[in-house]
């Protein structure tokens, strides 16, 4: 059965096994992706390290080590495409239940990554800010020290952001934020009437310094679940979810580009449907003021007017526009 699956996979993606064709295909997808707006905040559930190691007959620690290589590559791919913020699900609160030797290997890997990132010339040239999101108090002291030092060294950077979700649980994040708000309400420094979504953001792990809303969540390893990852940041933001079959250590640039392309197609379809719906309402109510329509569409989608112009040029929108005029 495994051999049949291998043959089927080979027949479907045969061009990916020929280096020159693979590079051409990768270049083609990248060129296509760069013609359209890219997501500004991508979050990744890095799943499959242990299954990858098991497949190779190696201990889980080797899978995490190979996965760390993929992490560095993905960060560079984000910079290439102009994706300003990347959040990685590195270690959940559930992961504390794993064997001690595996946890130690992961914590050692975190410390190594922090030290390497601080010393890497590319971190400073790209003005990459590195932060942790999660209940850091649960981590060993030496890991907390490395995280604190890395955050301090990159605190002044604001071009790209790397958020490492460690000791993270989405439901716990909301509970911790609610407790902080309740305390401030009790102390009189926060009134219940002033609590809005932006206020809630300030009390969560991300804080108010960066854009917390997530545009795209990618999960590797094939499992179709979000594992308590960023429930507040993904909800109410039309966040797309893309499931990628390869394990995290096997995740390639072409897989990443496919995820971005899938997001762009979904986003384009959503924008066109909204524009058509707004035009139908205008037609029903009578009277279409183009400038007012453009501003309304830009406000609803939270996009600049030049992107609104691109939506209006789409044939489907043009057809509905002719009816509404």
Active site (annotated) includes residue 47: yes
Transcribe 108-161 into DSSP letters.
HHHHHHHHHHHH-HHHHHTTEEEEEES-GGGS-HHHHHHHHHHHHHTTT--SEE
Tokens of 70: 């993929």
- At residue 288, φ and ψ (nearest 5 deg) are -120, 120
Sheet holding 160-168, edge to edge: 128-133, 160-168, 85-92, 41-45, 216-220, 240-244
The residue annotated as part of the active site, out of 2, 9, 47, 187, is 47
3-state DSSP helix/strand/coil % of the chain, to nearest 5? 60, 10, 25
Contact 217, 238 (CB under 8 A): no
Among residues 164, 150, 14, which one has the least CA distance to residue 89? 164
Other CB atoms within 10 A of residue 275 CB: 24
Active site (annotated) includes residue 119: no
The residue annotated as part of the active site, out of 95, 108, 176, 184, is 95
Positions at the binding site for Mg(2+): 47, 238
Find tokens 């960060």 and name the residue: 75
Residues annotated as catalytic (active site), given as ranges: 47, 95
């Amino acid at each position: 059965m495994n051999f049949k699956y291998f043959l089927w996979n080979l027949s479907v993606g045969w061009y990916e096994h020929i280096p020159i064709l693979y590079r051409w295909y990768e270049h083609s997808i990248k060129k296509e992706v760069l013609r359209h707006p890219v997501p500004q905040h991508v979050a990744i559930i890095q799943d499959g390290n242990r299954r990858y190691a098991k497949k190779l007959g190696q201990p889980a620690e080797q899978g995490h080590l190979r996965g760390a290589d993929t992490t560095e590559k993905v960060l560079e791919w984000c910079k290439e495409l102009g994706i300003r913020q990347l959040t990685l699900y590195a270690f959940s609160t559930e992961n504390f239940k794993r064997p001690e030797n595996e946890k130690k290997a992961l914590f050692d890997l975190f410390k190594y990554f922090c030290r390497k990132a601080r010393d890497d010339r590319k971190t400073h040239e790209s003005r990459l800010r590195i932060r942790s999101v999660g209940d850091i108090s649960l981590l060993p002291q030496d890991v907390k020290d490395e995280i604190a030092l890395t955050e301090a060294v990159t605190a002044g950077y604001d071009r790209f952001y790397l958020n490492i979700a460690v000791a993270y649980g989405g439901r716990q994040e909301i509970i911790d934020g609610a407790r902080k708000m309740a305390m401030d309400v009790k102390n009189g420094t926060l009134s219940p009437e002033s609590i809005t979504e932006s206020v809630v953001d300030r009390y969560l792990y991300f804080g108010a310094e960066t854009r917390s809303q997530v545009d795209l969540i990618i999960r590797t390893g094939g499992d179709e679940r979000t594992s308590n990852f960023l429930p507040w940041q993904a909800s109410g933001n039309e966040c797309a979810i893309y499931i990628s079959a390869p394990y995290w250590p096997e995740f390639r640039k072409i897989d990443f580009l496919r995820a971005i392309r899938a997001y762009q197609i979904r986003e384009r379809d959503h924008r066109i449907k909204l524009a058509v719906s707004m035009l139908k309402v205008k037609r029903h109510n009578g009277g279409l003021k183009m400038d007012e329509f453009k501003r309304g569409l830009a406000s609803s989608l939270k996009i600049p007017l030049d992107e609104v112009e691109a939506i209006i040029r789409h044939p489907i929108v043009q057809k509905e526009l002719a009816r509404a005029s």
